[in-house]
Amino acid sequence: MARARRNFSITALPGFASIAVLTFVLLYVPIATLVVFSFNEAASMSRWQGFSLQWYQAAFDNSQVREVSIRALWLAVTASAIATFAATLAALATTRTPKFPGQTMIYALVNQPLMVPEVVTGTALLIFFAGIKMQTGYTGMGYLVAAHSAFCIPFAYLPIRARLQTMDLTLERAAADLYANHFQTFRYVTLPLLLPGVLAGFMLGFVISLDTVVITEFVKSAGQDTLATYMLGQIRRTVTPEMNAIATLFLLLSAVVVVLFFILSRKRP
Amino acid sequence: MADTTGRAASATNEIEIKRLSKVFWQGDAAFRALDEVTIGIRSGEFFTLLGPSGCGKTTLLRLIAGFEQPSAGEVIINGRQVAGLGPNARPVNTVFQNYALFPHMTVADNIGFGLRMLGKSAAVVRETTGRMLELVRMEAMAARKPSEISGGQQQRVALARALAPQPRVLLLDEPLSALDLKLRKEMQSELKRLQTETGITFVFVTHDQHEALTMSDRIAVMSGGRILQSGSPADIYNHPAERFVADFIGDTNFLDVEIVAVNGRAADVRLPGGGTRRASLPEGLSPSAGTNVTIVIRPEHASITDEAADFEGTVEDAVFFGTDTHVHLRLPGESRFTLRRQNTGAGAVALPEGSRVGVRVAEGGIQVLRN
Ligand SMILES: Nc1ncnc2c1ncn2[C@@H]1O[C@H](COP(=O)(O)OP(=O)(O)OP(=O)(O)O)[C@@H](O)[C@H]1O
Ligand SMILES: [Mg+2]
């Protein structure tokens, strides 16, 4: 008894195993079902009739799916790149400069999308962009790019900042001591060491942009559906395994990116 | 600050530091890490900053290197005011305490970094890097990453990297403190060799008195953000001007005595036995006869004698140390005194506890302290 108490372990609590199993079932059974039925021969979501790739074929043949997929990927790459760039600058400013007034404020501002509900941000953007649309008449992808970029910044910022904080400051001092100017110090010392953090930030931003429905729904103009909003629209009408196939591919892409993210953020400087 | 031409008064000093202060603010509380430090470091010398932890050694180096800006005072390097110049604009390189090698570059790329930043051609970089690798005997490791070499080797690479751009001054912040004793001894002579070979001015930081005494041309002893005394190792050791300096370097006997007479830089003091002896006065101190001062006598400057003893003491114990024996004495008035006897032969006289012995201090072995 005494021994058990000394080596307290949460796994020893009664019911731990059943709760754990239940959690995993709730998390993964729906996903597993989705994946399995994407390979179903029939159009049914409840009856398995045999293996087939026909729904993948259908998805690839669907020009609308192709169009929204390309748009979503393009948007995710662009927005995440912009967000990563801005997040890198913000992280440098909040870790590499002496404390300045308003630093905490900037930290809060950068992380605003994490704290404000998406519907609020979405509504605000809708109203704000509507004004600009009225004034300029511009209805292109710029609004979505801007909205996604802003939304992705905190997700890119956090891993980059974490990386910078663990980096030895004397390395940058040493570079300056060896006649490197600010830019050279950044280019040859800080950036190479920061790169895993930057890539991790980019990937996180990429996944977030690919995934976000609410912001996109509020901001997009006609004909600017992304994969996420397109699927939402389809599912409202009829559910076919074609959606399963798209979702499975989507899942695969996210999984690959997330795994890469973990590998990169684990790598120590 | 009166120096408007940008030229230093003394041409032989590589570095001139004038009334340099550095204040750190912690909220509203000010902390004086450096307090009006004034010192000249001569061209081509091995200059050591010696002092206990927290006395401001690193802070002084950082101000010279340009990583921090002074709160007051000035730094002049090679006759030029360097106020406002960043580290990359100063002809000074640093060997960091933790080496700070770039982990993503090879040994060779680390060494060549400074030259590349100076815009030297690839040929010059390659040639100099090769020479530096040879100088620190690391040719075989050129292609390795810093994580793939030992601590002592990293130390040598850090040294080569700092030497490669041929700075006028090399700043070394406790570069040997992370090494084990054997390696440290090796690197001490290696450093000395490099300094003589290159002729570069070395400013070396340590809190190890032996390291300071054996390697330096001159030493500055620091405490609490001030330089208490500077001079050659022998000068500092034999003529400490302050209690802290005497205490920090070597073993010391302190005795409170009375001044009998003063003539010039010397004074006659009355020793515990009643006799008077000649003592050296520290710079800037001229006490009048009758005042009480503290004197310093190094243990090896005193010997046991049968005739002409300066004072007598009672043996408390004698500790055998191989090459010498430390004899602990009690003097009249309850003060203690330690002397060191060279063990020259097997027939040394035994000193039983409680026996009374006479002590004679060698000529020039008495130094008056300022405080
Ligand atoms: N950035 C800073 N902010 C506040 N105080 C500081 C700062 N840097 C140094 N100090 C203080 O200044 C004093 C001198 O520090 P410094 O690093 O120069 O000591 P040091 O002589 O190099 O000591 P050590 O032998 O331990 O390296 C210390 O008391 C330290 O706490
Ligand atoms: Mg230090």
- Window 110-169 of A, Cβ < 8 Å to B: 168
In the block, tokens 């530096």 appear at: B132
Amino acid at B175: P
Domain ranges of chain B: 13-238, 251-368
**Using alpha carbons only, what angle is made at residue B301 by residues B306 and B328, rounded to the nearest 5 degrees?**
70
pLDDT digits (tens, 9 = 90+) for B56-99: 999 999 999 999 999 999 999 999 999 889 999 999 999 998 89
Domain ranges of chain A: 17-52, 64-266
pLDDT digits (tens, 9 = 90+) for B166-214: 999 999 999 888 778 888 888 888 889 889 988 999 999 998 999 999 9
Q: Is A195 on the interface with B (CB under 8 A)?
A: no
Q: Is the pLDDT of residue B366 over 50?
A: yes
Question: What pLDDT score does B334 carry?
Answer: 77
Whether the CA torsion B131, B137, B140, B142 is positive or negative: it is: negative
Q: Is the pLDDT of residue A1 over 70?
A: no
Ligand 1 atom closest to Cα of residue B59? 18
pLDDT digits (tens, 9 = 90+) for A60-77: 888 888 899 999 999 999
Q: At what angle do helices A142-166 and A191-211 cross, to 10 degrees?
A: 140
Determine phi and psi for B336, rounding to 5 degrees.
Answer: -105, 155
Interchain contact, B100 vs A176, CB within 8 Å: no
Distance A203 CA to ligand 2 centre (A): 41
Ligand nearest to the CA of B34: 1
Please state the rounded mean pLDDT for residues B25-45: 92
pLDDT digits (tens, 9 = 90+) for B299-354: 999 988 888 888 889 999 988 888 888 999 998 877 889 999 888 776 566 788 88
CB atoms closer than 10 angstroms to residue B16: 21
**CB hemisphere CA count around B129 (13 angstroms):** 22
Residue B363 DSSP label: T
Q: Which residue has the higher pLDDT, B183 or B357?
A: B357
CATH topology of domain A64-266: MetI-like fold (1.10.3720)
**Helix (H, G, I), strand (E, B), or coil: what is residue B107?**
helix
- Here the tokens at position B263 are 């003539």
Please state the rounded mean pLDDT for residues A174-186: 94
Question: Measured between alpha carbons, how far apart are the two ends of chain B, in Å?
Answer: 32
Question: What pLDDT score does B72 carry?
Answer: 94
Interchain contact, B88 vs A168, CB within 8 Å: no
Question: What pLDDT score does A60 carry?
Answer: 87
Distance CA B368, CA B256 (A): 10
Interchain contact, B98 vs A173, CB within 8 Å: no
Q: Is A189 on the interface with B (CB under 8 A)?
A: yes
Ligand 1 atom closest to Cα of residue B207? 25
Distance CA B255, CA B359 (A): 14
Please state the rounded mean pLDDT for residues A198-215: 90
Question: What pLDDT score does B140 carry?
Answer: 93
Q: Which residue has the higher pLDDT, A266 or B241?
A: B241
- Here the tokens at position B226 are 């001030």
| CA-based nearest residue to B221, from B266, B282, B137 | B282
Q: Which residue has the higher pLDDT, A97 or B155?
A: B155
Q: Is the pLDDT of residue B108 over 60?
A: yes
Question: What pLDDT score does B73 carry?
Answer: 94
Question: What pLDDT score does A111 carry?
Answer: 83
Q: Which residue has the higher pLDDT, A189 or A96?
A: A189
Q: Is the pLDDT of residue A57 over 50?
A: yes
Question: What pLDDT score does B346 carry?
Answer: 63
Q: Which residue has the higher pLDDT, A239 or A132?
A: A132
Report the percentage of chain A scoring pLDDT > 70. Answer: 96
Mean pLDDT of chain B: 89
Distance CA A211, CA B262 (A): 90
Q: Which of B104, B113, B162 sits opposite A193 (nearest CB)?
A: B104
Question: What pLDDT score does B305 carry?
Answer: 86
Q: Place B10 in a pLDDT band, splitting at 50, 70 and 90.
A: very low
Q: Is the pLDDT of residue B9 over 50?
A: no
* Residue A187 to chain B, least CA–CA distance (Å): 11
Contact B64, B170 (CB under 8 A): no
Interchain contact, A177 vs B161, CB within 8 Å: no
- pLDDT-wise least confident of B2-6, B239-243, B331-335: B2-6
Distance CA A11, CA B181 (A): 48
Q: Which residue has the higher pLDDT, A5 or A239?
A: A239
Choose which CATH entry (1.20.1740.10, 3.40.50.150, 3.30.565.10, 2.40.50.140) describes domain B251-368: 2.40.50.140
Q: Is the pLDDT of residue B5 over 60?
A: no
Please state the rounded mean pLDDT for residues A4-22: 78
Element (H, E) at B99: none
CATH topology of domain B13-238: Rossmann fold (3.40.50)
